[in-house]
Amino acid sequence: MELSLKGRVALITGASRGIGKAIGQAYADAGASVLLSSRKQDALEAAAGEIGGDVDVFAANAGDPDQAAAAVEHCMSRFGGLDILVNNAATNPYFGPAIAIDLPAYDKTWAVNHRGALVWTQLAWKAAMAERGGSVINVASIGGLSVDPGIGIYNGTKAALIHLTRTLAAELAPSVRVNAIAPGLVKTDMARVLWEPAEERMAASMPLARLGEPSDIAHAALYLASDLASWVTGHTLVVDGGALLGPVARR
């Protein structure tokens, strides 16, 4: 067995930049046909041009069920199937105490981060995976395993996504494997407000002495989608440079 996805079709949400784009690159390099989806057509086209290979794009808001359905339908029409779904799209419109969040921001966060993952998985199941099997990978966060001031609602959606992963893994077995990845702090545009002001200090406190790169998460997603993970389901793979271990003192 090898880390090859030849002959498989992957659909990745939130794929125009950052982690989603890196996963698209890893999958295309491994031989998969890849559909990149996010909200902005121009950003998707730019990402596809950089990735190369058998790659197509479809603009869709991950929190809109009708747009999700159109994206899955396009994937089936364009590539003739759907074997791998990566629910990577996420949003965090609010930073501050959970007690003070307004309901529109709360609803938007849950609609994309949790309900969206369920909707896209339902669509993939009905369109292809119920008949031919497949792999679903949900991009969660170590925030779903801890408590962080300021992003408590976002972290709550990720904790729920981890539980949803286990639930769907049990329900869709044995033909569909469902796993999650819980990244630590990765140097993406979405997380820039968290890492850019103090990157060196934060990296120095971590066991592996650096922040994450999108490729670190893409490597985990490639493993979980491949045959090397054929006996892995219901698992949340933490990829955080050891952050959950706590700060370390350097000798």
Closest to 168 measured CA to CA, from 122, 209, 215, 211 = 122
How far, in Å, CA of 147 to CA of 186, rounded?
A: 17
Dihedral pair phi/psi, residue 135, rounded to 5°: -140, 130
Neighbours of 136 (CB within 10 A): 26
Q: Which of these is catalytic: 27, 94, 106, 154? A: 154
Residue 2 tokens read as 């090898």
Residues 6+ apart with CB under 8 A from 68: 60, 62, 116, 119, 120, 123
Is residue 223 part of the annotated active site? The answer reads no
* E strand map for 104-244: 134-139, 176-183, 236-239
| Catalytic residue positions, numbered | 154
